[in-house]
Structure 1
Amino acid sequence: MLDRNILNSPTNEQWNIAHQLAIDLVRSIPSPNNKISDVEVRQVLNYLKISLRKDPENAASNFFKLILNLTNAARQLNDLEQRKRGGNRNRTKQTADKYQAVSDCCTQSLAAYKNDAESMLTILCWAVRLMKYYHQASLGKGIDKPKVSVNKII
């Protein structure tokens, strides 16, 4: 059963991973017009939440399958659009690039938790929240971790 307090109490290690994942996502996901682009991350986060409720034993492995499948499907759609209409289909290519970035970042950051979907959810939830902070920081003078202790979470 999903512990409701888990999202409010990350360990120090989870907190550090969430920060790094947020930074990696902000750096990796293309953001047109200087707007944060977190739609794809929120989609996989919601899938993980639902998967944890429906099938907790397989939620983590299903999550990694999903991000791989989304990336492959977006690439195939991009290829199909290019063959069908010819020329450059920027929108589907951007979507494929975003899913590839989400897949790469999550696979790298969450690999240690591949059998612990609840910890993955905690990290990913905080990473999504932190993405807004890091996106704003990246528009300014650079990305640095905010000075926040684990006991005083945003």
Structure 2
Amino acid sequence: MLTTESLTEAESQLAHNLAITLVKEDTDVNEVGKVIAYLRSIVDQPDAGRRFFSYLKTLVTNGWQIGHSGRTIGYYRNIERACNQYLQSQEANAQTMLKILGWAMRLMRYYKVSPIEEISISQSPQVEQISERQAEIAEVFQSQKFEIDQVLDATVLSIKGNKVTYEMLGRIKLTEREPKKAASLEEGQIVKVKITALKEDGTIKSVKFIN
């Protein structure tokens, strides 16, 4: 079972705030994974923290040369700004930074499928640790690979006109137009839906009722 015993309350807050900030700025989780890989490669060096922040600055400066899309440089800026804000205090302890970043990446996948209006950055020095339930769900979404035309079980949460809100995997909620099927569905009904589009980070963008 996944636990978060290795995170202190302060570290948990930093991971939460870092993840929320990056999700609200629509930052690509895969780019976060790349900077984590870099930090992991140098984490045992005595100046790893300083080198990490220098690396982020270099990404922003030279991102136009190495980016794979027009949005990549924006992702780099978001990551540098968020790390400067939430990890600068941990610069002397690269292992702690790596741990916080790892959890932030897991939580990004979790928060990307949570209603964004329910998510807020904690300003309090006392913050509830990431719950075991949150951690388990985050781990599921980190490892889950979705594909176009993949079929999932979904619960019909609500029906408003021709708009149907589905819940999949116990957490993912999406509202879709179902002009031909909405009238025949009932709230609480378990149905089959097909993935019709994915976001850049591999999470589900849209689904379609199929039975």
- Normalised by the length of structure 1, the TM-score is 0.71
Question: Whose RCO is larger (CA < 8 A, sep 6+)?
Answer: 1
Q: Match of 1:93, SS?
A: coil
Residue of structure 1 in register with 2:96 after alignment: 119
Matched residues, number: 126
Contact 2:12 2:129 in 1 (8 A): no
Structure 1 letter corresponding to 2:119: I
Q: 1:72 to 1:126 in 2, by over 3 A?
A: same
Listed one character per residue, the Cα deviations across residues 29-60 of structure 1 (whole Å, up to 9, x for unaligned) are 35xxxxxx21110000011111114x2x1111
Q: Which runs of 5+ in 1 are unaligned?
A: 1-6, 31-36, 79-90
How well do the aligned residues superpose, as a CA RMSD in angstroms? Answer: 2.5
Q: Which entry has the higher C-alpha Rg, 1 or 2?
A: 2
Residue 58 of structure 1, aligned match among 47, 51, 54: 47
Confirm or deny: 8 A CA contact 1:137 1:144 kept in the other structure: no
Q: Distance in 2 between matches of 1:149 and 1:44?
A: 24
Identical residues among aligned pairs (%): 29
The structure carrying a bigger strand percent of its residues is 2
Report the structure, 1 or 2, having the larger helix content: 1
What is the SS of the residue equivalent to 2:114?
A: helix
Q: Which moved more, 1:20-29 or 1:69-78?
A: 69-78
Distance change >3 Å, CA 29–CA 150, structure 1 → 2: closer
* TM-aligned CA distance change 1:44 to 1:11, over 3 Å: same
1:48 paired to 2:11: no
Distance 2:66 2:26 in 1: 19
